[in-house]
Amino acid sequence: QAALFNLPRSSWTDYDTSIMSAGGGIFPRSLKSIAITEQMKARFDIKADKLTPTELLHALLKAPVDLLWNGGIGTYVKSSEESHADVGDKANDALRVDGNELRCKVVGEGGNLGMTQLGRVEFGLNGGATNTDFIDNAGGVDCSDHEVNIKILLNEVVQAGDMTGKQRNQLLESMTDEVGHLVLGNNYKQTQALSLAARRAYERIAEYKRLMNDLEARGKLDRAIEFLPAEEQIAERVAAKQGLSRAELSVLISYSKIDLKEALLESRVPDDDYLARDMETAFPPSLGARFSTAMRSHRLKREIVSTQIANDLVNHMGITFVQRLKESTGMSAAAVAGAYVIVRDIFHLPHWFRQIEALDYKVSAEIQLALMDELMRLGRRATRWFLRSRRNELDAGRDVAHFGPHLAALGLKLDELLEDGPTREIWQTRYQAYVEAGVPELLARMVAGTTHLYTLLPIIEASDVTGQNAADVAKAYFALG
């Protein structure tokens, strides 16, 4: 590949066929037929001795492989309920297959429109894993967003006379890797959120139904246009014990983020000094350190703050998080987001998520998702507690400064606070199971104790009201079981 890349111009005839696997080859599309070697037959489950190029490509699309990667132009997968005419890509009619014919485990969409949305859904409901094209190649758009925001910031610095144009250009070039890291991080988080959603897609299908109904009622969503299931289709899914597919969840995660961002823009959240600190997460750390003052006067400040909070909340707490808490507390989306930021920061949730993410390929993905699910449950319960106990008295800066130190102190000695008995046994059993699964001890202690960490919130409040030491109140609480 490197040799081909370095040629001034190249074609497949420049490829060194001597390094190819036995039985393989490079075949022009213009051939009348291609002889199928025994190795090709075995690898791609082909029975014929020879095929036309079009027939071979059609067979390759249906081959039993791990990954089918689409990086080109054209739509190659549709639903069995769609006709080729519905697809509107006549040039590839002879190649195209149906979603229920795919035998790959995963489809990755580097190109646009490689599958129809109904084709993705059909593949997903048959056990395949696929997102959507706009999820799989979101990196380019994300990179452009970072570039625009950074250039606006630095242009304002240049106009203020604090930097020359040459220095600006040098700084932009020096941040290439930092921006790449931010883009990769955003896309990692978003696909991780889809995996978390897919894990409980069936048991939470009623939540997704309510979210879709709410978005439709407010004119924010048209299910038919987005190929999302109608009421009768949802009933059929429930009967078949199926939830939404990853492709459908990909649509909903986008709508959820957009809806929350719009709600935050209409609120005072972006103007809150503490909440607005999320803006810095949109920029490379080196910029935040040098130009934090200039960031506060960025002309897109409110939009950036709203976007960052919306992305962070939905990625970590789930697609229906805001909808659920609006329903259970009667509070606004903006209030939910503000309470979430408090909870996120007092429990240091991003830190613990990163600790779990660092276990990639060290423990099973199911263990990682289970650990994250516990953090999500803690975040949901704690956010609900703040919304119900504080109502209209939420103050992010004040509440983080008050609850944060107490939680840090009590959390460090949680196992000491738990009296011997059923409560401690539950914690010990969960802790031991995580450790045996390969989870580091400190992370296992924290996640095993999420239920007890949540109860520290009313314990701290009781300490405030009574004037008693928080640790003493905690011991008394846990002693009561």
Residue 53's domain comprises 2-136
297 occurs within a structural domain: no
Where does a domain end: 120, 136, 152?
A: 136
Please say if the pLDDT value at position 324 is more than 90.
Answer: yes
pLDDT band at 353 (very low <50, low <70, confident <90, very high): very high
pLDDT digits (tens, 9 = 90+) for 10-42: 888 888 888 899 999 999 999 999 999 999 999
In this prediction, residue 481 carries a pLDDT of 66
Where does a domain end: 136, 171, 195?
A: 136
Report the C-alpha gap between 160 and 148 in whole angstroms: 18
148 occurs within a structural domain: no
Predicted TM-score (pTM) of this structure: 0.93
Strands 34-35 and 50-51: antiparallel
Can you spell out the DSSP letters for 378-396? HHHHHHHHHHHHHGGG--H
pLDDT band at 390 (very low <50, low <70, confident <90, very high): confident
Lowest mean pLDDT among 205-209, 365-369, 410-414: 410-414
Where does a domain end: 96, 120, 136?
A: 136
Q: Do residues 371 and 447 lie in contact, with contact meaning Cβ atoms separated by under 8 Å?
A: yes
* Across 79-88, average pLDDT: 97
224 occurs within a structural domain: no
In this prediction, residue 147 carries a pLDDT of 95
In this prediction, residue 260 carries a pLDDT of 99
Number of domains comprising the chain: 2
Rounded to the nearest integer, the mean pLDDT of the chain is: 95
18 occurs within a structural domain: yes
Residues 6+ apart with CB under 8 A from 352: 375, 443, 446, 447
Report the C-alpha gap between 24 and 37 in whole angstroms: 8
Please say if the pLDDT value at position 349 is more than 90.
Answer: yes
Lowest mean pLDDT among 5-14, 373-382, 466-475: 5-14
Report the C-alpha gap between 94 and 89 in whole angstroms: 10
Closest CA to 186 of 145, 132, 247, 128: 145
- CA distances to 24, 220, 222, 331 from 216, rounded to whole Å, are 52, 6, 6, 20
